Amino acid sequence: MSVDSVKKHKYSGFINPAGIFQFIINLLGLYLIFKAALVWNTDMLWVYIFWLLFSTATELKPISMPNNDQLTVSFAVHISALILFGVPIAILSSTVANIITDIIGRRGWKKMLFNVSQYAVTIYCSWFIYHLVRSGSGPLELKADFLAMVLSCLTYVVVNFLLVSTVISLSQGTRWLRQLTNDVKLEMIHFVTLVPVSLLIVILYNYEPLSIIILLLPLAMAHFSFDNYMTLRTETKNTIEVLADIIDKRDAYTAQHSYRVANYCEAIANKLKLNQSDYETLITAARVHDLGKISVPDSILLKNQRLQPEERNLIIDHAMIGFTILSNLRFYKSGAKFVFHHHERYDGTGYPHGLKGDQIPLGARIMAVADSYDAMTSDRPYRKAMSVEEALTEIINNSGTQFDPDIVEVFVQIVRNELGVKLKSDAI
């Protein structure tokens, strides 16, 4: 795993934690690379060239993750080179391979320097654990050294993950734990599938060096299968969000409504310190919470007069239709219930099921406040937008009846802090 893109951090002009962290890792990494170059045995030149080409090939087409990580299958090559030939060849082949691929990918010298350095640190830590746990110092014995090899793989995964997640977190000013756990399940699945491949490379190379060629095809297939899954996942998310935006734009007064609601939900989730899984589920659901309005005719959606009972029923049904669409998509399945219940009321008089209090999913309670606030502060065909102060007062007046009081308190604090809004009640 390496760094893809790092946004400009929020510490410009002040102490730069990301820069300090990168400097420390770069210093350690360059020292290890220099040390590996000094002790490298030139008799292993052809082995080094082969492993360099192998490592370069596995770095050429990285998989970009939503959290700005990049995944490759180079892990299998680094670990097998480490176990078979020791730390110098593993570090040097990784270093040159990353320089080549980062130049081709035009990632810039800062990202390149950090990538080669963090890989050097990661490989060295894996080597340290391998030799700490290994029972002997002679030729490799697969049965006796199996535990050492597995722990070396685990060390690689943990150190690599920590280093890359930390630099991205510090650079973007995001919460470290949230960055660390963002898509962690997907990335761990990717790594875990490569552990047996790494060990198989070692076994086959010991048996017959050229036999590892037969692993190239399954290794490539595993990589491209995961890449295709991530592409399909991203394209599905983008398509649903575009569709939601098109629905918003049917009414000029509600354009970008879902985008703003997602931003409000994000602010509330940050204040409540939701874990990464709940946070991501809420934000992705909020972006498409009105998707079900695709079933509502323009004549009803844009009507500037009181709705008839049958017309109101069509509006009410949009929550169920949105739920039906989203619950069939794996990426949205867990958040579909928030869309279904975001019109429930805290006192139990909402729809579709009349849920009350904590019976309403937390994400739906958060979404209800964000959705209502944005609706009140937007112009509509039948009324002008409320001011921020008026909308907040309305939210507060409906705390405990329409809205969860705890979420109302958090949201009011957010708006006051962000916009400096003072309510009349503040002066009393």
Per-residue pLDDT of 19-48, as tens digits, reads: 888 999 999 999 999 998 888 777 777 778
Cβ proximity of 350 and 303 under 8 Å: no
If pLDDT is split at 50, 70 and 90, which confidence band does 301 have? Answer: low
If pLDDT is split at 50, 70 and 90, which confidence band does 117 have? Answer: very high
DSSP 384: P
Distance CA 176, CA 182 (A): 10
Task: Give Dmax (Cα) for the chain.
Answer: 87
9: left (phi over 0), alpha (psi -120 to 50) or beta: beta
Note the pLDDT of residue 1: 62
DSSP 379: -
Question: What is the average pLDDT value for the chain, to the nearest integer?
Answer: 82
User: Of 73-82, 202-211, 223-232, 277-286, where does the model show the most confidence?
Assistant: 277-286
Residues 345-364 pLDDT 10s? 999 999 889 999 999 999 99
Reading the block at residue 394, the tokens are 């309305």
* Dihedral angle computed from the Cα positions of residues 405, 406, 410 and 413, in that order, rounded to the nearest 10 degrees: 50
Distance CA 372, CA 390 (A): 13
Cβ proximity of 391 and 407 under 8 Å: no
Cβ proximity of 339 and 292 under 8 Å: yes
Note the pLDDT of residue 419: 60
The proportion of the chain whose per-residue pLDDT surpasses 70, expressed as a percent, equals: 84
Residues 356-407 pLDDT 10s? 999 999 999 999 999 999 989 887 666 677 888 889 999 999 999 999 999 9
Note the pLDDT of residue 426: 45
Cβ proximity of 265 and 283 under 8 Å: yes
Give 361-366's long-range contacts (Cβ < 8 A, gap of 24+). 361/337, 362/278, 363/265, 363/278, 363/281, 363/282, 363/285, 363/335, 363/337, 363/338, 364/337, 364/338, 364/339, 364/340, 365/403, 365/404, 365/407, 366/265, 366/268, 366/269, 366/272, 366/282, 366/407
Note the pLDDT of residue 185: 67
Q: What is the mean pLDDT of residues 323-332?
A: 89
DSSP 399: B
User: Of 246-260, 304-318, 319-333, where does the model show the most confidence?
Assistant: 319-333
Distance CA 258, CA 287 (A): 5
Residues 191-237 pLDDT 10s? 777 778 787 888 888 777 777 777 777 777 777 887 887 888 888 88
- Of the candidates 244, 189, 264, 257, which has an alpha carbon nearest to the alpha carbon of residue 222? 189
- pTM equals 0.70
Contacts with 82 (C-beta within 8 Å, 6 or more apart), sequence order: 90, 123, 126, 127, 130, 152
DSSP 250: T
Note the pLDDT of residue 382: 62
If pLDDT is split at 50, 70 and 90, which confidence band does 135 have? Answer: confident
Write the single-letter amino acid at 325: I
- Of the candidates 218, 51, 207, which has an alpha carbon nearest to the alpha carbon of residue 142? 207
Q: Is the peptide bond before 352 cis (omega within 30 degrees of 0)?
A: yes
